[in-house]
Every structure is written in C-alpha cells, then in structure tokens.
Amino acid sequence: MRRHQQTSSHSTVATSQRPGPFCDFWSEPLYQKALAVVENMVEFQRLDVAHEFNQLAESYYRRGRFQEAEPLDWLVVAIKKQLLGAEHKDVAVSLFNLAALYESQGRYSCAERFYKQALAILEAALGPEHPDVALSLHNLAATYLAQNKYMEAEPLCRRLLEFWEQLLGAEHPYLISHLERNAELLHKLHRQEEALTLESRSQRIRTREPA
C-alpha cells in the first residue's frame, strides 16, 4: 500500500486546502474507459499486467507526475475487479493507492470516497485490528482533517489511538503524538474535559521518557 506524504501523526490538526473538483465528474469516465479496455483486450486480463501498471503508476506518483499515474491506477483497479471480484483485499489496496493519488493533489472528495471503499473492504477481509486497516483509518482521518471535517475525523482518530494502545501499551512514547492530535481535535469540537484528559496523559508519558 502506498505510503504517501500526508498529515503526519506528529503534526497538529490540518487546516483546509483548496477543494478538489467534484469526484464523480472526473473519476467515473476514467473508470469506464479503463473497464472498457480490460473487457475488450484479453491481454490485459492478467494480474501480472496489473502489477506492471501499478509499478509504472508508482514511478509516476513518486516523481509527482500525477496525471500520468491516474489512468494507470484506474486500469489496475479495473483489472483486479474483473479478475478477483470487487470485494477482494487486493482491490482495496489499489483503491487505497488511487485515494493517495487524489489526496496528494488536494482532491479530497475523491480521496475520501476511495479511502472509505478501501477501508470497508479491508475491514471485512482482514478484520478491524489489522495494520492495513489502521493505515486506512489514518489516511481517511487525515483527509477529513484537511477538509475541517472534525466530527467525521474524531471517531477514526479515537480508533487509531485504541489500536496503538492495544499494540504497544497505554504508556508507550509513540502514543504521545496521537494523544496530542486527538486532544487538539477534541478542543476543536468543544469537548474540553476529554481534551485535557488526553493532554494530561501525554504529559505524563513525556515525563517518563529517558533524557
């Protein structure tokens, strides 16, 4: 799964950036074109072809050539849906990559849509405690925060904190950034008492860190 530049777990709550174009208007024709290619060209109906397209899309993505990466990402989604079924976890990975591409361009409505789809598939396929589910939660939450959708982001950030607490323990230093981010988010939602509780926990863990 593509680990792209996004709202860091060490940063404060994101401020809104420019809105992207309406998602369905732009993305649906690309998917239909990709699907038509896959359905009509037998040589594209292979997972190794999807892998090659994905590698090329990743190369474009890392160089910031998003317009060239986008149709390739859609081809990968179309091939995997055709061969594996729409609910397969590998389809979710490709939807995640597509969402990451849109998020990198500030096209948050598109990113939100495909992160949601990827998260739903991964939770059903892998269970709610899988690391890939946590990564999807993190990225979807970051997309909400970039749009100032604090109400939508809060339960996801809470789930992430609970995930790391269960994995690392309630006093692990890694939790500090999550506690501080969640506290700031709760302040935005005027839930001051809960925010102060998280800030107190964060400070307590900081004082126990080795110098």
Residue-wise pLDDT tens digits, 93-143: 999 999 999 999 999 999 999 999 999 999 999 999 999 999 999 999 999
Q: In the structure, what pLDDT confidence band is assigned to residue 208 with cuts at 50, 70 and 90? A: confident
pTM of the predicted protein model: 0.80
DSSP 122-163: HHHHH-TTSHHHHHHHHHHHHHHHHTT-HHHHHHHHHHHHHH
Residue 210 has pLDDT above 80, yes or no: no
Tokens of residue 18, six digits: 């420019």
**45 DSSP assignment:** -
Please report the pLDDT score of residue 20 as a whole number.
Answer: 42
Task: Classify domain 22-126 by CATH architecture.
Answer: Alpha Horseshoe (1.25)
